[in-house]
Amino acid sequence: MRDDDKPPSGRPTVLVSNRQPGPVDEDGIRELAEATLRGEGHIDVELSVSFVEDAEIEDLHVRFMDEPGPTDVLSFPLDDVDEDGVRLLGDVVIAPAVAARNNPDDPVAELRLLLVHGILHLLGYDHEADAEKAEMWARQERYSGVRAP
């Protein structure tokens, strides 16, 4: 990466790929991801966010989680450092059609929640135990503005 290609100091880099037919507010997604990462103290990081169709996320769900059917969000940690010293966090993959089925009244809010959920997983948060879940859900709500069920 050339120096003039680097993001301004104090901003994470968020790469967004929309590989499904529905519209996605890429700027809003990028801003939310950046705010979440900054809020968690992660500045010199790069994150990839992909929006995919049901078939693509179902394939990933089966291959990597050994679970059938499409899911709403998957996180794939990379946790590497590039040649410029930027920490590569990994990938968050979201299926907007599944998100819309999860919350037909407000699919945009569901996308915000899923994005933050995926990022928090990349940062090491989990929700297996009740205490971990409470902490993760509180952070999700703080950043996304959406209360998880």
What pTM did the predictor assign?
0.92
* Domain positions in the chain: 3-144
Specify the pLDDT at position 79. Answer: 84
Tokens read off for 110: 């569901």
Task: For the chain, give the longest Cα–Cα distance.
Answer: 45
Amino acid at 98: V
Per-residue pLDDT tens listing for the chain (149 residues)? 445 555 445 789 999 999 999 999 999 999 999 999 999 999 999 999 999 999 999 999 999 999 999 999 999 999 899 998 899 999 999 999 999 999 999 999 999 999 999 999 999 999 999 999 999 999 999 999 999 87
Specify whether the CB–CB gap between 127 and 133 falls below 8 A: yes
Specify the pLDDT at position 99. Answer: 96
Specify the pLDDT at position 69. Answer: 95
Nearest-angstrom CA–CA distance, 7 and 144? 23
Specify the pLDDT at position 5. Answer: 53
CATH 3.40.390.30 fits 3-144, yes or no: yes
Specify the pLDDT at position 98. Answer: 97
